[in-house]
Chain A
Amino acid sequence: MNKIRKIGTGVAVAAVAATALTYSSVASFAWEPNKPIEFVIMAGKGGGADKMARLMQSVVEKHKMSAMPLLPVNKPGGSGAEALVHLNGKKGADANHTIMVTLNSFYTTPLRQPALGVDPLSFAPIARMAEDTFLLWVHKDSGIKDVDGFVKAAKAKGNDWIMAGTGKASEDNLLTDFLNSAYGLSMKYVPYKGGGAVAKQLAGQHANSTVNNPSEQEGFYAAGDTVPIAAFTDERMAMFPDAPTFKELGKDFEYYMQRSVVGAPKMSAEALAYYQGLFKNVFDSDEWQAYRKKKSLRGDLISGDAMKVYWQTNNEIHRQMLIKMGAIKG
């Protein structure tokens, strides 16, 4: 095997030398990818994170922002545990060619599964591209118009009130727990496989309420099947002007889903700088800005040290929420 490696390296050196001669004119950055970039998605196909990742990939492709293509690979296993472990193990050139789209399971999964040995704060901070919002949704046939009506109806039904969400101890579960404790409800939380499945449960009236992202409910909202009655944001959203925020209603609570791109922990500083530049270009593109507006995403681009501070704050928030929920010990 040693011999094979040596021959391989020898051939490689020759090949690299030959390429360097032919393609030296392309090199304008300090570091450039020289093989396809693995673009890990920490969630399954068809979800919000997946759609967003594929949009970013198509923007990079369309404007030829990178010499090498981004190759999306879904690794939803273990609520993202598999993806985190995968990036954690990347070394050398591989570490410089592996990036990942991440969400809030970036905090919750390592907190809930300490055995993985993954520290989210050690990942390379490339860019926070946006924050997704959450709203409280009900079916239009329920006749519920506002939070007061919702609380009344949910109280009357006790634990027969079904709140559908995506997985146990997920964002939806955290929000359900908040509603239960803030309004003294005892809604029953039923986990489904993804945001899309959850939205369908509500549209088919198999569930009484959900806390979907706007992008997950937009089809049913447009068709008039479902209505948002309140937003978990700091101010009202342009798309849903009739849905007040919980802050307006006197509950000091807001919650967002991060939509970020991170690199493998062992990524070199030069490579990190390259990807930070790349995703700044993606962020500034017309397509991305149009998407942000259409899906009512919020949050500016942050990267580098600012992003690390953002992670620290949010990691702590999630730790507290999970402790309160009883999912982890303090």
Chain B
Amino acid sequence: MEILGLLGNGFLVAFEPLNLGLIIFGVTVGLFIGAMPGLGSVNGVAILLPMTFLVPPASAMIFLAAIYYGAMYGGAISSIMLGIPGASTAVATTFDGRPLALQGKADTALVVAATASFIGGTVSILLFTGFAPALAHIALDFGDPEIFALMLLAFATFVGLSGDDIPKTIFSICIGLVFSAVGLDIMSGEPRLVFMNITGFMHGINFLVLAIGVYGIGEMLWTIEVTRGETQMSKATISLRRIVGHFGEMMRIWKSWTLGSFLGFFVGILPAAGATPGSLMAYGVAKMTAKNPRDFGKGEPAGVAAPEAANNAASTGSMLPMLTLGIPGSPTTAILLGGMVIWGLVPGPRLFIDETVFVWSLIASLYAANLFAFLINVAFVPVFLWMLKMPFTILAPTIFVLSLIGGYAPTQDMHDVWLMLIFGVGAYMLRKLDYPLAPAVLAIVLGPIAEPKMRQSLLISGGDFSVFFTRPIAGPITIIAIILILLPVFQLIRRKIKESRQAG
């Protein structure tokens, strides 16, 4: 019952005119950003974060969360209409969404995507509301060693669970962490890694500089090259009668979106997994469990519903570890986490106690954002279709300009803008060679938390590493993290044994 009271208060804050306006505006912006090829929630949140300094932190967070949400809906639009995923989270939506559009059933795909997103989002928020206080309660006992153990776990899941090139993933995490160490070593009070004695490095490398470099400049350079300026849009006929008819279709495929919702939420909770693996897994499982797996990939609405329910569920799910434990579940939440630090909110165990109003109004705003995203999406489908025709040669320079200003605004130092350009170009080059970049962004956000926590723990224990193993909460987390880090090694060994057996 206590939860309902807190949530009720949250709703009162979320429905203040400013916040409600920001939810609607944020959802609309998010839908647009998500719908644009090459731009996803992470780009929108990174580039627009500096613009939120105008409003109080809670409102800023509500706005950014609404963008995150809207982008999850919007991603489906370009996946279906252009065949290009609006963001990596909508890749799975292209598998069946595009064939449907080519068969002239684009409206079916769009409505199924929107409805499934709504269901996924709603299920996930309900689960979130139930889980969050319990998790936050446990998290109260967390001291320095426990927080460090959690950080270790976040990095471990990146290495252990990602299907990417392992050395390149490790490289990406490490470079992010090293960049996070630039500036000042707070434990000794000495300046550290001030490259070439440029004073601009004294304030460290702001995570936004790296995030905007990677997701603004790097992403645009990449998209310019990949799309080659050519896109082919499908035709869509939309009428109210047809939309109503599609809800019947939704009932038929209930299994796919139920599955997508729950799977998405739980994958989303895993640190560093996020909505992309969530939606791909949901697609795979929906196909495996369907009666007609052969229809998948040829325009089966269930193949749109499952990943769309999952990516919305995962985006909410990934906020759970961010708010309760201070570890982000996706690159977008990593940036939100960095934003909270800028606003002076300390994410993690104490947030639910110290910032009750903030937390619950954010949760309440997610309910509202989910509803508005659905309504706006269905009502304005024609507008989004029209906007999709916006030439890339106008969108790209706009994003570049927003990146430039967004890179300048937080620290008001041109040094950071140059650094952002270097990161952007570097990110573009590295991405061409399959280096994953999300781990670096996550690492630069977590580094400034992880390192001092490790050293404060060791200072208190007198340099004894056993603090990370012997404490009741820190111990198991550390051990799980180490197992996860070593997981790829085990797999490698197992494969080697298998190979040698086969050879023998």
A residues contacting B by CB (< 8 A) are 45-46, 73, 75-79, 81-82, 85-86, 112-113, 159-160, 162, 167-170, 188, 190-193, 196-197, 200, 204, 206
Segment touching A, from B60-68, B90-98, B162-170, B187-195? B187-195
Which B-chain residue is minimally distant from A327 (CB atoms)? B189
CB neighbours of B300 from chain A (8 A): none
B479 at the A/B interface (Cβ < 8 Å)? no
Other A-B contacts than A168-B187, A168-B189, A170-B189, 18 sampled, CB-CB below 8 A, are A45-B344, A75-B203, A77-B184, A77-B203, A78-B194, A78-B199, A78-B202, A79-B189, A81-B191, A81-B199, A81-B202, A82-B200, A82-B203, A188-B460, A190-B460, A192-B452, A204-B350, A206-B143
Can you list 12 contacts pairing A with B, beta carbon distance less than 8 Å? Answer: A45-B342, A77-B184, A77-B202, A78-B203, A82-B200, A82-B203, A168-B189, A190-B459, A191-B186, A191-B187, A192-B452, A204-B143
Report how far A191 CA is from B455 CA in the complex, Å.
10
Among A81, A82, A188, A193, the most chain B Cβ lie within 10 Å of the Cβ of A82
Q: Is A193 a contact of B344 with CB atoms below 8 Å?
A: no
Report how far A88 CA is from B143 CA in the complex, Å.
41
Q: Is A191 a contact of B184 with CB atoms below 8 Å?
A: no
> What count of chain B residues pass the 8 Å CB interface test?
27
- CB contacts under 8 Å to A, within B341-359, are 342-344, 346, 350
Query: A156 to nearest B CB, angstroms?
Result: 17
Query: B335 to nearest A CB, angstroms?
Result: 17
Report how far A159 CA is from B456 CA in the complex, Å.
14
Query: B49 to nearest A CB, angstroms?
Result: 15
Which B-chain residue is minimally distant from A50 (CB atoms)? B344
Query: A74 to nearest B CB, angstroms?
Result: 8
Which B-chain residue is minimally distant from A71 (CB atoms)? B412
Query: B354 to nearest A CB, angstroms?
Result: 9
Q: Is B344 a contact of A78 with CB atoms below 8 Å?
A: no
Query: B248 to nearest A CB, angstroms?
Result: 54
Task: Name B188's contact: one of A73, A162, A168, A196 (CB within 8 Å).
Answer: A168
Which B-chain residue is minimally distant from A84 (CB atoms)? B199
Query: B405 to nearest A CB, angstroms?
Result: 16
- CB contacts under 8 Å to A, within B397-423, are 412
Among B183, B184, B459, the most chain A Cβ lie within 10 Å of the Cβ of B184
Q: Is A78 a contact of B143 with CB atoms below 8 Å?
A: no
Report how far A38 CA is from B374 CA in the complex, Å.
44
With A73-B412, A86-B199: A169-B189 Cβ-Cβ less than 8 Å: yes
CB neighbours of A196 from chain B (8 A): 344
Q: Is B344 a contact of A46 with CB atoms below 8 Å?
A: yes
CB neighbours of A75 from chain B (8 A): 203
Q: Is B187 a contact of A78 with CB atoms below 8 Å?
A: no
B476 at the A/B interface (Cβ < 8 Å)? no
B204 at the A/B interface (Cβ < 8 Å)? yes
Report how far A85 CA is from B460 CA in the complex, Å.
35
Report how far A169 CA is from B184 CA in the complex, Å.
13
Which A-chain residue is minimally distant from B449 (CB atoms)? A193
Report how far A55 CA is from B151 CA in the complex, Å.
36
CB neighbours of A112 from chain B (8 A): 189
Which A-chain residue is minimally distant from B188 (CB atoms)? A168
With A77-B202, A82-B202: A206-B186 Cβ-Cβ less than 8 Å: no
Query: A217 to nearest B CB, angstroms?
Result: 15
B144 at the A/B interface (Cβ < 8 Å)? yes
CB neighbours of B188 from chain A (8 A): 168
Query: B457 to nearest A CB, angstroms?
Result: 10
Query: A53 to nearest B CB, angstroms?
Result: 14
Which B-chain residue is minimally distant from A173 (CB atoms)? B189
CB neighbours of A78 from chain B (8 A): 183-184, 191, 194, 199, 202-203
Report how far A298 CA is from B452 CA in the complex, Å.
34
CB neighbours of B189 from chain A (8 A): 79, 112, 167-170, 191
Which A-chain residue is minimally distant from B189 (CB atoms)? A168
CB neighbours of B184 from chain A (8 A): 77-79
Which 8 A-B pairs have CB atoms at the shortest separation, nearest pair first?
Answer: A77-B203, A168-B189, A77-B202, A78-B202, A46-B344, A82-B202, A169-B189, A85-B199
Among B183, B186, B188, B350, the most chain A Cβ lie within 10 Å of the Cβ of B186
Query: B358 to nearest A CB, angstroms?
Result: 15
Report how far A85 CA is from B198 CA in the complex, Å.
11
Query: B100 to nearest A CB, angstroms?
Result: 49
Q: Is A77 a contact of B199 with CB atoms below 8 Å?
A: yes
Q: Is A168 a contact of B202 with CB atoms below 8 Å?
A: no
Task: Name B199's contact: one of A82, A162, A170 (CB within 8 Å).
Answer: A82
Which A-chain residue is minimally distant from B461 (CB atoms)? A160
CB neighbours of B144 from chain A (8 A): 206
Among B183, B188, B202, B204, the most chain A Cβ lie within 10 Å of the Cβ of B202
Which B-chain residue is minimally distant from A168 (CB atoms)? B189
Task: Name A193's contact: one of B191, B412, B452 (CB within 8 Å).
Answer: B452
Query: B216 to nearest A CB, angstroms?
Result: 23
Which A-chain residue is minimally distant from B204 (CB atoms)? A77
- CB contacts under 8 Å to A, within B449-478, are 452, 456, 459-460, 462
Report how far A192 CA is from B187 CA in the complex, Å.
8
Report how far A85 CA is from B194 CA in the complex, Å.
14
With A77-B202, A86-B199, A168-B186: A113-B191 Cβ-Cβ less than 8 Å: yes
Report how far A211 CA is from B184 CA in the complex, Å.
22
Report how far A117 CA is from B435 CA in the complex, Å.
42
Report how far A81 CA is from B452 CA in the complex, Å.
21
CB neighbours of A206 from chain B (8 A): 143-144
Which B-chain residue is minimally distant from A116 (CB atoms)? B199
CB neighbours of B200 from chain A (8 A): 82
CB neighbours of A167 from chain B (8 A): 186, 189
Report how far A76 CA is from B203 CA in the complex, Å.
7
Report how far A186 CA is from B460 CA in the complex, Å.
13
Report how far A168 CA is from B144 CA in the complex, Å.
18
Report how far A44 CA is from B184 CA in the complex, Å.
13
Which B-chain residue is minimally distant from A189 (CB atoms)? B459
CB neighbours of B344 from chain A (8 A): 45-46, 196
Q: Is B203 a contact of A192 with CB atoms below 8 Å?
A: no
- CB contacts under 8 Å to A, within B337-380, are 342-344, 346, 350
With A190-B456, A190-B460: A200-B350 Cβ-Cβ less than 8 Å: yes
